[in-house]
Structure 1
Amino acid sequence: MKRRGKGRAWDRGVRALLMGSLLGAPVALAVEQAPEVPPAQDGARAPESLAEPPPPLEPTASDVPFMDTVTPPPAVPPRVLRPFIPHGEPDTNAKLSGGTIAAHAGLTLLPLASVWTATRVGGDTRLGATAAEAAAGTLLASLPGRFLFVHPSYPQGRWLELEVGAFGAAFVVTPPIAALGTWGMGEVAFGASEQRGHAYLGALGGATAGMLLGIAAHEGLKHLAGSSERLATLRSYLAFSLIGTGATVGYQWSRTPTQRR
């Protein structure tokens, strides 16, 4: 019994020795591989990592600007500015030449000749009737037609847009209104036509031709007058009368009056 107890104790000792050798080998290797840490001097704390710190980053040049940088504007050569000169500035003291006055007087006779022509092309030969029809067309043409001759002194920016818009609207509206005045006077006061629609179309065509002729006459006389404002009213109403008399000639030429009882 004593031998068996001694044998069991011997086995237990051998097993403990083997276990201790197996567990102590990794610990010994770890202790052998661990570097020696120098003792801290003056109470300083030992660094956590023995690796050398990386070098500081150096700024590098980049072609792309940063968000907070302001790019200087490109160098632009200075532009030579022309002096501003008002266009069409009126001069009330400027005088008209003898030839300009003669041209105004000669074109004034053109509406009178148109009224007489209206008595020759239609069935109504009464001068008073054609004159009344021309007067009605001229009066209505002067309402929107004044915007045909709007020339601001400073035609720049918004002023130029307003001038073009007013001229376009008057160019479209003036002939129908002038033709309506002539046609209405002729149909109501001096006898109806057999075909009223045909008569109105004739008045509309004559008013359109008269408007083109009136604009050309107005601009030609204004060119001759230069910066002078004299006879400006005469030039405007001369153009309006050409519209009214043109409508009268077209109305008398296209209408067929009904037989009076």
Structure 2
Amino acid sequence: MPSRHHTGAGGLTVGAAARAVGVTVRTLHHWDAVGLVQPSSRTSAGYRLYTAADMAHAHRVVLYRELDVPLDEIGSLLDAPAGADASLRRQRELVRERLHRLEQAVGALDRLIEARERGVLLSPEDQVALFGDEWQPSWAAGARERWGDTDQWAQFAERAAERTAEEWREIAAEADATLAALSDAMGRGVVPGGDEADALAERHRASLGAYFDVTHGRHVLIGRMYADDADFAAHHDARRPGLTAWLREVVDANARAHGVDPDTATWD
């Protein structure tokens, strides 16, 4: 008995035809069932045999399927090609729309890759203009070296890839306003743990949240990093001497109010 996956005397069996066309045997069976591509003959055992004409027909079906033409429209296109212009034009527009979406996706991926490499997708000059004269564009490279393999850096990159210069300007303005409010509160003798101090701590946490999600535990660790890092401490203390240490107390007190012990706070 001949195999259904070999070449028969009158054409190709279903397995060979499927391999030649680049589809599955199940697909050819379905196309046969719906009358789209039907084999012209059978073996003595009843197996399908696809002639050269059948194979040419099947290749045309594959072409239309690759163009996303619905299966139920392909039959009419093949049967009446002279009247198929409108349908082909519609499919051409659909392909163009898909190409546009793919180009947008490529652009988004390019921005994300660049953001994971550079951080802020602005020129060094624009970064200084937005974040202030004390800002050093090289900090982004240092941050990537330090945290580039973390989920938070990935989250920051995803957000940075979509942000415009105006959105960065708004973020920078809020960060500056928050620091000014903290400095003013310290100067007025606001006590860590009070309502005003807690509200300012939440505002500070929210401003950091523009970059990645900041839990209360993470906020504590960030406050500790500010105190331990000379550059961060200098940046805050330039506003008001001692602001770094005071901010850490404010953050710790607010964390306690939210059920987080600063002494055992963790990043996750």
TM-score, normalised relative to structure 2: 0.23
Q: Which has the higher helix share?
A: 2
TM-score, normalised relative to structure 1: 0.23
Higher-RCO chain (CA-CA 8 Å, sequence separation at least 6): 1
**Larger CA Rg, structure 1 vs 2:** 1
